[in-house]
Structure 1
Amino acid sequence: MKARNYKNELAEAVAYFWKKRTVQSEKQGEASGTKDAGNRSSVTGGAQLDGFIELFAKIARDSGLTDSEIHMKETTLPGYYRPTKEWDLVLYADGDLIASVEFKSHIGPSFGNNFNNRVEEALGSATDLRTAYREGAMKQSIKPWMGYFMLLEDHPKSATPVKVREPYFPVLPDFKEASYQRRYVEFCRRLVLEGLYDSACLLFSAESTGRSGDFTEPSTGLDFIQFSASFIGAITAFIQNRDMRR
């Protein structure tokens, strides 16, 4: 039987993201009489990424896990450098952590303000959980799979090359005169290359067309198909291993 690619469901999640963002921004303005500076209301409102989280919960269910093994709430996991960290989606069964996934978005027009924050968050989360696993915080037969999912607004300011300050040493060539779109491609690629995450997915979507579910995938190594295939592979490996132990 041919495997599903879930592209229609992914488009629906993209559309949900933009529509939810619009609704939250409008409600914030109605409540206060003024809108937050920049896009803070859409950032602080939450729930915009729920469509993506629920899509991967569905993929996990279709791959053989039960609802009781798929967690979108109560997703606290132990850390090494801090006591705990909340993840967006956790797959947990029979005392084993199967997978954890972080879902993020970055919306303009001020892309420079949050890019470094996103990088530091992702690096910290991955390092914290992987080290906690190494130190035995999670009794585990299969190493937990970790995924990073990012939706970046396709905007003229995210596509424009950005100058960097180099007062002492030159920056690495891939970042020289790179747009934020290019920076995110390199960032997500290196997360996987360095083994911090098992897979990463990067989507670009413009607000004007995103409400209809439109998006682009800037790199074949960071596309949805490979990300979901890696996710499904981790679940399949866990189920097969569990069946062998029984």
Structure 2
Amino acid sequence: MTLDLANFEDQARQAVKLFWGNREAALARQAEAGNVDAGTRGAVTAGKNMDGFLIIAQSLIEANGLKDAQICVQQRALTLPGFYRPTKLWDMLVIHRSQLVAALEFKSQVGPSFGNNFNNRCEEAIGTAHDLWTAYREGAFGEDAPRPFLGWIMLLEDCPKSNTPVSDKQPHFPVDPAFRQASYAQRYHILCKRLVQEGLYTSATFLASPRTAAADGAYRHIGDLTSLRTFVTKFAGHIASVAAR
């Protein structure tokens, strides 16, 4: 397995800078065109904010010997069959010799509204993984297909509101103690940790980054299991094992 951690950390900072830079550029284009969306919707609908993380994944595929893999990043080639629904669009697929090697999702959330978006991201992440693994069990990706790598990366704005403890209504039954008075940053960390512990994703990453990171690419993680370094290590190992078959 080939893994240059110093290079990865530089790539990660560049990916974070690209994320914030693309958001600001999208908002500026909206303003210049006189078509400013409500809140920060313009930056979200412009897309491409997480492209730097796709580049990290692509470089890991190339560095670990899977040079003839089909790396799908265009929408027309990102569809996989489901079990509870006909299809699902992923953010990145890796196909090698007609077998699914990896399916990756790259998500982000920026304030000011964290509550509803957090719940939507949770439902999406859990449902997507459960749907895929059920389809896999039923042979949707071929008889005796090797188990693919499933990855989920979430980048959250690191700001006072995302780090403030949140209270929950408990009219009938108590909330899981892990979530009591947990901020949205802590809740995303818990989500990612449990997605991995329950086998829904091979790796689930949570990153927190402030808007000022447009200048220096700063980011942080809360725990090792949900760190970007863990994702990089696991993904590189999976790619290397496929290349060695």
User: Into which bin does the TM-score normalised by the smaller protein fall?
Assistant: over 0.9
User: Could you say which residue in structure 2 is the equivalent of 1:180?
Assistant: 184
Match of 1:26 among 18, 25, 28: 28
Instruction: Measure the CA separation in 2 of the matches of 1:51 and 1:117.
Output: 24
Aligned residue type for 1:23: A
Match of 1:213 among 202, 217, 230: 217
1:97 aligns with 2:100: yes
Kept after mapping to 2: 8 A contact 1:75/1:87? yes
Instruction: Measure the CA separation in 2 of the matches of 1:3 and 1:55.
Output: 11
User: Could you say which residue in structure 1 is the equivalent of 2:56?
Assistant: 55
SS at match of 1:211: helix
- Gap regions ≥5 residues in structure 2: none
SS at match of 1:104: strand
1:191 aligns with 2:192: no
* 227-236 or 15-24: bigger deviation: 227-236
Kept after mapping to 2: 8 A contact 1:16/1:211? no
Q: Cα distance 1:125–1:2, how it changes in 2: closer, same or farther (>3 A)? A: closer
Percent same amino acid at aligned positions? 45
Instruction: Measure the CA separation in 2 of the matches of 1:151 and 1:71.
Output: 22
- Residue deviations 1:47-85 (CA, integer Å, cap 9, x gap): 101111122111111111226522212111111111111
Instruction: Measure the CA separation in 2 of the matches of 1:193 and 1:211.
Output: 35
In the superposition, the TM-score normalised over structure 1's length comes to: 0.93
Any runs of at least 4 consecutive aligned residues in structure 1 with deviations exceeding 3 A, and if so which? none
Q: Cα distance 1:2–1:136, how it changes in 2: closer, same or farther (>3 A)? A: closer
SS at match of 1:207: coil
Q: CA deviation at 1:154?
A: 0.1
Instruction: Measure the CA separation in 1 of the matches of 2:195 and 2:3.
Output: 27
Q: CA deviation at 1:208?
A: 1.5
SS at match of 1:97: strand
Instruction: Measure the CA separation in 2 of the matches of 1:143 and 1:68.
Output: 16
Q: 1:114-193 maps to which residues of 2 (within 5 A)? A: 114-139=117-142, 140-193=144-197
SS at match of 1:170: coil
Kept after mapping to 1: 8 A contact 2:15/2:52? yes
Instruction: Measure the CA separation in 2 of the matches of 1:89 and 1:57.
Output: 10
SS at match of 1:149: strand
Aligned residue type for 2:21: K
- Residue deviations 1:10-44 (CA, integer Å, cap 9, x gap): 1000000000000001111222x252222111111
Length, aligned pairs only: 240
In the superposition, the TM-score normalised over structure 2's length comes to: 0.94
Kept after mapping to 2: 8 A contact 1:142/1:238? no
Root-mean-square deviation (CA), in Å? 1.5
